[in-house]
Structure 1
Amino acid sequence: MKILVTGNAGFIGFHTAKRLLERGDSVVGFDSVNDYYDVSIKEARLKILEETAARTGSEYTFIRANLADQQAVDDCFEGHDIGRVINLAAQAGVRYSLENPRSYVESNVIAFTNLLEACRHHEVEHLTYASTSSVYGANTKMPFSEHEGANHPLQFYAATKKANEMMAHSYSNLFGLPTTGLRFFTVYGPWGRPDMALFKFTKNILEDKPIPVFNHGNHTRDFTYVEDIVEGVIRASDDIAQPNPNWHSDKPDPATSNAPFRLFNIGNNNPVKLSAYIEAIEDALGKKAKKEMLPLQPGDVPDTYADSTELEKAVGYKPNTPVQEGVARFIEWYRGFYGV
Structure 2
Amino acid sequence: MPTTASPGEDLSLVDGLPIVKRPYVLADGRELVYYDDADTTLAPERLPDERLLDPRPATAVMRQDVLTGEWISIAAARNNRVFLPPANLDPLAPQAPDNPSEVPSLYDVAVFENRSPSFGPDLLGPGETPVPLERGIALGRSRPSIGRCEVVCFSPEREGSFGSLGTSRARTVIEAWADRTAVLSALPGVEQVFPFENRGEQVGVTLHHPHGQIYSYPFVSPRTQRLIASIDSYGPDLFADILAHEQAGDRMIVQGEHWSAFVPFAARWPVEVHILPHRQLPDLAATTPEERDELAVLYPRVLRAIDGLYPTPTPYIAGWHQAPVNAHRDDIRLMLQITSPRRAVDRLKFLAGSESAMGAFIGDVPPELTAQNLRESYQSHE
TM > 0.5 between the two? no
Larger Rg: 2
TM-score (norm 2): 0.27
Relative contact order (alpha carbons < 8 A, sep ≥ 6): 1 or 2 greater? 1
Q: Which has the higher strand share?
A: 2
Q: Which has the higher helix share?
A: 1
TM-score (norm 1): 0.29
